[in-house]
Amino acid sequence: MRTDAADDKTVQEGLADLTAIANNKSSGSWDEAAYYLGLYYWEKNDITQAKALWQDLRDMPLDIEGASPWAARVQAKLPLI
């Protein structure tokens, strides 16, 4: 939510937090953070950054029990780029 703030400082803090979570693959929510961080960049028309963030999610299998729902969203969005 901080990435939607009006002031740049709050946006930068939100991006830093999301980046830290997305880069920590041992956290249980790295995939969700990577999805939303990539979505932020997509909406800012920085497709290169979005693709880079979504790389690991794109390569995740979808047909196993416990698969990431964020991977499915990424795999649906990437063909639209």
Note the pLDDT tens digit of each residue in 5-38. 667 898 899 899 999 999 998 877 899 999 999 9
Quick one: pLDDT at residue 16? 93
Structure tokens at 6: 């009006």
Given this model, what pLDDT does residue 48 score?
Answer: 93
Contact 58, 74 (CB under 8 A): yes
Residues whose CB is less than 8 angstroms from the CB of residue 37 and which lie 6 or more positions away in sequence, other chains included: 15, 18, 19, 22, 53
Total domain count, the chain: 1
**For the whole model, what pTM was predicted?**
0.81
| Nearest in space to 20 (alpha carbons), one of 37, 3, 40, 45 | 37
Q: The domain containing residue 59 runs over which residues?
A: 2-80
